Amino acid sequence: MELTAGIIAGHLQGEVKGDPDVIVKGVARIEQGKPGTACFLANPKYEKYLYTTGASAVLVNRDFVPTGKVSATLIRVDDAYAAAAALLGLFASVKKKKGWEFPHSISRKASIGRKVYIGAHSYIGKRARIGNGAQIYPQVYIGEHVKIGAGTILYPGVKVYDDCTIGDNCIIHSNAVIGSDGFGFAPSADGTYRKIPQTGNVIIEDNVEIGANTVIDRATMGSTIIRSGVKLDNLIQIAHNVEVGENTVMAAQSGIAGSTRVGAGCMIGGQAGIVGHLTVAARTQVGAQAGVIGSVKQEGSILLGMPAFDHGQFMRAYAHFKKSGKKDL
């Protein structure tokens, strides 16, 4: 795929300073830019590379003022970081696979939309519905009565159990499991545990991205729900009957226990844990390795530590921790 700087600027609603006809064939990091690539500058720490990069074009914010000579064509946009994401998406869009590969197993009672890619050794069960333009990579398992939305991508090894629903334009990375049984067991008098049937499902709304090896358990009754725009990193555990609010992001190795409700726009750091049956208010930020053991009622809270509490109080307490540690040494 080849685009001119002028075409890119038009797509990103930007303006060109330099040669609008320079050719761009791909995207690169600014410190590794070569002729034929486009880069972006959003972090001032990387400005020094702008004056040495070999890239043909660089996306910059409209208010950016160079302090040295720039040989690359500049494309001025409102938000260079967001524009870079859009440009990457533009180049990635041409890489979509087409057609059906063999062998595969598709139920005669399944419904397959138009322009769907189906990879080798994939399985699609009875009454499953696959939306237009979906990408089903090799070795994907799609159970009975599953719904996959238009434009959604399931990368190799994804497993979607019976009755689950995935919305439009979602991306689910390799070996993620959607709809496995929730961790439900009833203790018996003799010390053994009796399995509680998990009869619900998982509902994933539109524009959700789920990282590799992440697991989302089906509800005991009702639905585990991932709202639109949620972004989950790799190796995350979402337990049964959890609801994750729209546009919430969670970093790797974090987890949410059963029946907890996480509000919209929250940010959960890596290896953070949230115990079950809680409510976490919208726009809450939970730091890495923090442990949330009680409901968070105030929107926009920032929590650190285990057990997690207000970040301002945590930092003041941490100052005392450091002092006492030095005395002990």
Half-sphere exposure of 75 (CA within 13 A, CB side): 30
Token pair for 186: 């009833």
Work out the average pLDDT over 121-141: 98
Cis ω before 156 (30° cut-off from 0): no
DSSP 12: H
Residue 320: band (very low, low, confident or very high) from pLDDT cuts 50, 70, 90: confident
- What is the number of other CB atoms lying within 10 angstroms of the CB of residue 310? 14
Alpha-carbon gap, residue 231 to 219, rounded angstroms: 20
Which residues partner with 316 through β-bridges? none
Residue closest to 50 by CA, chosen among 63, 77, 31: 31
What pLDDT, on a 0 to 100 scale, did the predictor assign at position 180? 98
Asked if pLDDT for residue 322 goes beyond 80, the answer is no
Top-confidence residue, 238 or 96: 238
Q: How confident is the model at residue 325 (pLDDT cuts 50, 70, 90)?
A: low
Taking residues 150-164, what's their average pLDDT? 98
Q: What is the mean pLDDT of the chain?
A: 95
The pairs formed by 29-34 with CB atoms below 8 angstroms and a separation of 24 or more are 30/55, 30/58, 33/58, 33/72
pLDDT, tens digit (0-9, with 9 covering 90-100), for 304-313: 999 998 888 8
Pick left, alpha or beta for residue 163 (phi over 0 → left; psi -120 to 50 → alpha; otherwise beta): left
- Mean pLDDT for 265-278 is 98
Is pLDDT larger for residue 319 or for residue 261?
Answer: 261
Q: What order of strands is seen across the sheet that includes strand 26-27?
A: 15-17, 73-77, 57-61, 37-41, 26-27
Contacts for 268 with CB less than 8 Å, ≥ 6 apart: 248, 249, 250, 251, 254, 262, 274, 286
Rounded CA separation 160/266 (Å): 26
* pLDDT per residue as tens digits for the range 247-265: 999 999 999 999 999 999 9
Contact 53, 33 (CB under 8 A): yes
What domains, with CATH codes, occur in the chain?
Answer: 3-95 (3.40.1390.10), 161-312 (2.160.10.10)
Contact 253, 237 (CB under 8 A): no
Taking the CA atoms of 113, 114, 117 and 120 in sequence, report the sign of the dihedral they define.
Answer: positive
Q: Are 226 and 203 in contact (CB under 8 A)?
A: yes
Of 56, 9, 55, the C-alpha closest to 31 is 55
pLDDT for 327 equals 56
Give the active site residues. 240
Provide the pairing of β-strand 73-77 with 15-17. Answer: antiparallel
pTM score, whole prediction: 0.83
pLDDT above 80: residue 155:
yes
Is the pLDDT at 328 greater than 60, yes or no? no
